[in-house]
Structures are given as structure tokens and as C-alpha cells.
Chains A and B, each alone.
Chain A
Amino acid sequence: MYDVVIIGAGVTGSASARELSRYKLNICVVDKEEDVCAGTSKANSAIVHSGIDCTPGTLMAELNVKGNEMMEPLSKELDFSFKRNGSLILCFSEDDRPNLEALFAHAEKNGVPGCRILEKEELHQMEPNISDEAIAAIYCPTGGIVCPFGLNIAMAENAYTNGVEFRFNTAVRKITKTEKGWLLSTNNGDILTKVVVNAAGVNADIFHNMVSKDKIHITPRRGEYCLLDKTTGGLVSNTIFQLPGKYGKGILVTPTVHGNTLIGPTADDHDDRDATNTTAQGLAHVISAATKSVPTVPVRQVITSFSGNRAHEDHHEFIIKELEDAPFFVDAAGIESPGLTSSPAIGVKVAGIVADLLKPEKNPDFNGTRKGVLDPKSLSEEEYAKLISEKPEYGNIICRCEMITEGEIMDAINRPLGAKSLDGVKRRTRAGMGRCQAGFCSPRTMEIISRELGISQLEITKNGGRSNMVVGYSKKSIEEA
């Protein structure tokens, strides 16, 4: 019997788990995937939004601004990459100026500090590569960029080391109210809990609707992106938005915390929650719209493209509350953009609701700090030399594009909630995330995973399930014959 079961190990679930681990509670996070950060949390713009474009007075606006404020101190406590690079919302015609000014008025209402309107000259001084067609922009100095994997994994790891249990490959099939509490039927057996936190992202309406008569409806809204080589890193320094349209914030052009350029997303409503495929039309739209903001976007430098599904609830608002007709069932649903930004604040809000229900004692052993996978490139040359003499694996480069060592990959596998798959290693170390997209390092990384986890290479997957990397031995068949 758990006190709290959180469905979903994305940013929302992981932030909630970490905040709840401040209390003496028996907590479990379940996820249908093999790792944390396997859904929408891994496939998004990686932006820490300022909060200017949220509708004033909404929970979204409140939690966006709060999450933005929390991100910097949190990045230090939990050791993940975050940079306050600023954002610009471009206006391309005088006809649109009233819309620009209307949006600018949100800044004050939403409590977004430091915003101002830049006229053309200053704008182009700040960002020489943006389109000459841009006549003005709102500048939001608090806008930032974050490593979404880093944020998600850090919160989950910290929750884990503070006592939260994680069950992966565990899909909740059914939720029933019993006398003892909520009974969750899963493919891995039944789980009983006092409180359920529904942080299931694009699937949150399924669980909500299992227990409540007040139905909600989430539409998977696909966003496609292209990631560009690090050689493009200096293209823009701020995150470049266009004035928002009906389906969200439009196509952005942004540096990433790791020095790439990211362009996207599209906004395409569909009905398959698991459809994370890219489309020819979508990718073409990303490129043409990005070119509108930054005409010199070097599209030949694309190293990969991907897509994620925003969990768009019909009312476009975060739903974070205990359900009226289902006591002790807490929704954290409709978490679409700015969900990544808001996640630390969502975690606090969820924990507050649960604490009110269970009145738990504080966890005196809570430790809110965590060290990430050691990046030897962050060391001085003397420190690096010392590290290699103690642990020679740090002298062995496995991923040549991102210069990731065997030592870092071993750390990613062997740390709390460690990586079990190639994608798990990739999201923790960046091995395989560079320009050759794992062509060089995947056989080497497979060898290391096999050795460290004591499993056959035949069992190694890209990202769990049936995503095995190899299907048999090339020479065995001859031996057998």
C-alpha cells in the first residue's frame, strides 16, 4: 500500500515526485516506458518561457512565471544545463503592431519582468541574422533554454535518492476505487494507493475519465522539429519567436544549451497518442517558417528531426486539482507548453494538494541536491588528468561527435535510476546525439551496456520494448550448421 502513486515519469510526474519526497510518504512513480523522460518531455522546444504569451489570470500564466523563476536555482541544486538567453517575439508588419502591443500588455499582467519593445535598429543589432522583414519585437530577458532530459532526469533521480520508488514498463490498465484506496491494475500486477497523481501527459484524460464523470478531452498536438549541427550554434543568441497564431507559439529558432540550433515546432492535431513520427509536410513547414525569422538557417546542417505530442486539453489550461467526484485522485493534466517551464512549480502545487490530503510529516533526511553525470570537459586540465589517472575510462572517447568518454557512459548506467538502453545513455550523456547520430558509437556503447549490466547484446534495446538493436549472431548460424 502506497501513500501516493504517480502515473507518468515525465517532467510533471518527476517534479511532483521530487516535491513529495520532502515528506515522509511511501511514493511510487509508474511509467509504461522503460525510462524516465520517454514521452513529450523528451521531444519539445527545450525552452524556459518567460510567460508573456499566457492568457493573464490563468493557472498557466501563474505557473509559467513561477517555474521560470525556480529554474535557475533548481539547475544549480540538481546540476542540469540551463541558460537565461532571452527571447524575442518578432513582428513582421505594421499591421501586426497592435497584436504586438496587446501581447506586450500581458507582460505586466502576468508579472513577467524586464520586457520591452525593440524597434528595428536595436533588434537587428541584437540579432544580426534575423530577417530584415522583422520591424519590431518584444524582448523578454527572462526567457531561457534548458536541457529537457537533464531537467527531467535530475528531478527523477533526486526523488529516487530521497526514497521514491520507480516502476518502469508498467502500464496502468484500470483504476478502481476500493475501501482501502485506489486500486491500479497494471500489466505488472495490482498496486494499491491512498492518492493517485495523474501526470500521464498525452494520456492523462484516459485516467481522469476512468474515475470521474466530468470528462476531459486531450488532443495529441504534434510538434515537429529539426535539430541543426553545432557549427550553427552562433546563428542566434536569443530564442526567436514569431507573433503567436491560433495553434500556439509558432515556429521558433533557438540555440540549445548544448550549442546546437533547434527549429520548430509545427502544430498538427491528430488522434494517435503514440504517433511521434515526423511527416514530409511538417518538416517542410518547419524549414520554411524558420527561414521567415532567420533567412540564413542552414538547412543542410540538419542532423536529426523528431516530433512530440503536446497534451492539448480542450480548454487550453493546466488542470491541477483533486477531482471533486473522485477524492484523493489528483490531476496534473493538460500539461502542454509551457509545461516544461512550469514543471518545477507544478510539482510544488501537486505536492501541496497531496500534503493537504495526507497531512504527512516532513522527511528529515530529504536532500535536495544532486550531481549529474560528470562532464570531464568542465574540468581544468590538471583535474582532468587526475581523473583519468584514477579512472582511465575517462580517457577513452566513445562518442567522437560529442566527445563523450567511456567513464561518462558507465556513470550514466550505474547511477541511481541509470540508463538501460542506448537512448537512456544518450539522454544522460549526449553520446549518439551529435552529427553522426550514433553511427560511430552505437556498437561501442552497446558493448559497454552489455558489460556493465551483465546482459547479452541481443537484449540491448534502443529504448525498451521490442526495440532490440540486433537480432542474432552473424556467425552462429554457420557454427550451428
Chain B
Amino acid sequence: MSSYDIVIIGGGPAGLAAAASAKREGVDSILILERDTQLGGILNQCIHNGFGLHTFKEELTGPEYAQRFIDQVEELKIEYKLNTMVMDITPDKQITAMNRTDGLFHIQAKAIVLAMGCRERSRGALNIPGYRPAGIYSAGTAQRLVNIEGFMPGREVVILGSGDIGLIMARRMTLEGAKVKVVAELMPYSGGLKRNIVQCLDDFGIPLKLSHTVVDIKGKERLEGITLAAVDDKGKPIPGTEEEYTCDTLLLSCGLIPENEISRSIGVDMEPVTSGPIVNESLETSVEGVFACGNVLHVHDLVDFVSEEAAAAGRNAAAYVKAGGTLGEKSKEIPIQAVDGVRYTVPKKLHVNRMAEEQIVRFRVGAVYKNCYISAYLNDERIIHRKRQIMAPGEMEEIKLKKEQLTGFDGLENITVKIEEA
């Protein structure tokens, strides 16, 4: 059985950034396992621009952004295996993987970085009634067909869900000559970035119907049409509001689910809100030496933040390995409580002594908030009170905790992050 200091599961943006940073921290023995035919993950099919504004101060396409990190991995001579599926990981970090050339093989790792990304919620998980014809795709599958495989999934399109991939595909399908009739969103607000609504829908005159959903699917062979209805504030369709749309394609962009089947096999504790592992300040899961970053941890809005988070995970994994399998002494565990509109936080807990000088805490809000404050409390003392003109569930928020401030706070029991009205 071969062994590596750090094995990184997934060669997408998270895995690449984690690998590069771990290597720069001085760990040589690193292996990336990637199931696809090339590194870069989902970025390879995201041929639109808008990536990298934070990281590189320029607008790149997905493949260009990925290539910057692939180049780093190549320059740093980090080993990787493509076309390789990880089948299982044990709690003592033995990995079982498989590919065509090596067959079924085992690797012992000292530390593991989980960077498997996420998958799209399917039609089945949404439990939309109706027929099950051809022509119903998740937006990402359609994106792959159009951008990588070179096929058109259909000509007359309805999109359910206003997640970013759905918005991007509304524009993509339009540019490829399809007619996108409507984007429907169950919630009273969009799940995607504001800039995508402007650039992908408004600029092309594609209507966005908020508080609407698909209530019926017609067509026994190929999709022939759908019925859209308005929903009430509980998300239930309102009788009498049904509208028929003829279409041969229904794209679904109704949420992303972190892909944690392998994390569960290791036995890491999970956070039900994010469907990702619970991590501490070091992005370490409940299993020591197993770290998580990127969309497998929580679904991000921008890849720049994935790269930043993954670099931290890589650094921490390197520190763990270099210290002989430990992150050192830990001070008392301080929980971070997400309340009053804050759905979750990553990390969910921290040890003050192990914090970086500045600890980023990321989260999403549960509704649209206008002219409100993001507040953070140490016990009952408010230390952050930052005004935000608008916050929406589609965009990630963050606060920065200063180690100095936390160290100097006597009797710290908990940290609370909340939204406060003006």
C-alpha cells in the first residue's frame, strides 16, 4: 500500500488550491485524486466569464481560472491521478480508490482534505408531479452537454429555480439559438447572484417569475409542456393561477447539495443546514486530520472564496502533518451560534489559541434583508455591528474575528452571529 502525507479528494478549484498551499507550506508528499479526465472540476464547463475578480483582479472564464491553479499544481510538481474514483475512506485514513490502470488500490494518508464539491438537486428530490419524459435536465448537466459535449438538449426552454447555473444556462441556451420562455423561482427572491439576474435574464428579456413553481409535466416521450403556478407564502401552489407553457426542455436549478457520501463513510459529524461536515477554525472535521473545503463543506457563491478557504485548509493540513499528526494544544472549544436570520456559520466552533490572526466566518442569510446589520457577539458583548444595504440568500456573507480581541476576552463561552434590524 502506498502512503502520502496529504491526500486530497477532488481536483476541482478547492482541491487544487488546497494542494498548492500545502505544498508551499513544505509538505512534499501530496496526492490529488480526481474522478474526471482532467483537473479543474466543474469550472471546465463554466465557459462564461466573471471568475477571479477577487483572486486575480481580472475577469476570467472558468477554464482560465482553473488553469491558473492547474499551472501552480504542475509547477509545484504535485502528484495527481485522473479518472480515479474514491470508493471508501476509513476513520484511520485508509483510502480505497479505483481506476482503469491501477485497478482497485489503497492509500494510507496522514491527513486528508475533502474537496469533492457538490451535486445538483434532481427532479425526483423536488417531487414534481407529472410524466417523466426526456428533456428534463439539471442545469449543470445541460451545461455539460452544450459546452463540453457539443449538443443542444432542446429548443424551447423553461427553467425552474434561479440558482446561478440556471441563470447562466438561460443566457447560454439563448445564445445557442434556443428560446428561453421563463425562469420560475419558488421563493420570493432569487437564489442566484444579482449580477447574474441582470446579465443573464434582464439583458435578454427573459422573465423571472418569483413565487412560482412547476406543478405538472406533460409529454409521454419527449417533454411537451409544463404547468406553472404561483405559490403562497408557504410555497403551496395557489389554485387558479396555473399557466401552461409548451416547451421541449425543463432545466432545474433548485439548489446544490454537498457531496458527502465519502465523508459519512469516514464518520465525520455533519451539519444538517449545509449538508456539509461540521468544522472548526482549522477547517478540520470531527475526525482529526480530516479537513474540508469548498462546496463539499458549504455551497459557495464565488469560486474566489472557495480558493481562499481551500488554501487555508491546505495550510492547516500541512501544519497537522508537520507537527506529527496534531494541530497542537487546544484551548476551550467555543461554539459559534447562528441565530436571527443567519442560517449557519463555517466554522461552527473554534479554539481561540489555534485561530489565525484574522478568522473569516462565512454564512448565508435565510431571507432578503434590507438596511440591516450583521452583528457578532462574544457572550453578550457586541463586537461587530456592520450595516448592509441588502443581504440575500443567494450571496455569501462574512465577518472577520480578530484573535487579539478574542484572546483578550475573559470568560468567553460562545460567539453569536445574527442579523439585527436598523
Contacts and interface: CB of A to CB of B under 8 A. Distances in A.
Interface of A: 226-227, 274, 276-280, 282-283, 302-306, 381, 384-385, 388-389, 392-393, 395-397, 400, 403, 435-437, 439-440, 442-443, 446-447, 457-458, 461-477
Contacts of A469: 134, 153
9 contacts: A304-B124, A305-B124, A305-B127, A393-B100, A439-B140, A471-B152, A474-B152, A476-B150, A477-B176
A282 B140 CA distance: 30
Contacts of A458: 151
Contacts of A443: 141, 144-145, 148-149
B138 interface: yes
Contacts of B119: 436, 439-440
Q: Majority SS of interface residues in chain A?
A: mixed
Nearest to A280: B129
In this complex, the member of A282, A446, A466, A477 whose beta carbon has the largest number of chain B beta carbons within 10 angstroms is: A466
A282 B129 CA distance: 9
Given A461-B134, A474-B146, A477-B176, A468 B222 contact: yes
Contacts of B152: 470-474
Contact of A276 (B124, B131, B134): B131
Contact of A462 (B87, B120, B134, B145): B134
Nearest to A440: B119
Contact of A397 (B35, B132, B138, B146): B35
B1 to A, nearest CB: 12
Contacts of B186: none
Interface string B123-137: 111010111111001
A280 B155 contact: no
B53 interface: no
A-B residue pairs, 10 tightest by C-beta: A304-B124, A462-B134, A392-B100, A437-B122, A470-B151, A388-B103, A467-B134, A397-B85, A467-B221, A395-B100
Interface string B219-231: 0111000000000
Contacts of A468: 134, 222
Given A388-B98, A471-B152, A475-B150, A462 B35 contact: no
Contacts of B154: 470-471
Given A280-B129, A443-B145, 9 more contacts: A385-B103, A388-B100, A392-B101, A395-B100, A403-B85, A457-B149, A457-B151, A466-B221, A474-B146
Please tell me the size bucket of the interface on B: 35 or more
A406 B125 CA distance: 26
A466 B122 contact: no
Given A305-B127, A395-B98, A395-B104, A462 B133 contact: yes
A282 B127 CA distance: 11
A279 to B, nearest CB: 5
A301 B382 CA distance: 39
Interface string B88-110: 00000000001111111000000
A42 to B, nearest CB: 11
B205 interface: no
B83 interface: yes
A439 B141 contact: yes
Contacts of A306: 132
B215 interface: yes
A370 B150 CA distance: 40
Given A305-B127, A466-B221, A436 B176 contact: no
Contacts of B134: 461-463, 467-469
B248 interface: yes
B32 interface: no
Contacts of B153: 469-471
Nearest to A301: B125
In this complex, the member of B87, B132, B144 whose beta carbon has the largest number of chain A beta carbons within 10 angstroms is: B132
B177 interface: yes
Contact of B103 (A384, A397, A400, A467): A384
B217 interface: yes
Contacts of B131: 276-277
A442 B141 contact: yes
A210 B147 CA distance: 52
A139 to B, nearest CB: 32
A225 to B, nearest CB: 11
Contact of A400 (B85, B100, B129, B151): B85
B151 A395 contact: no
Contact of B98 (A397, A436, A477): A397
Contacts of B124: 227, 302-305, 437
In this complex, the member of A392, A396, A461 whose beta carbon has the largest number of chain B beta carbons within 10 angstroms is: A396
A116 B144 CA distance: 55
B333 to A, nearest CB: 28
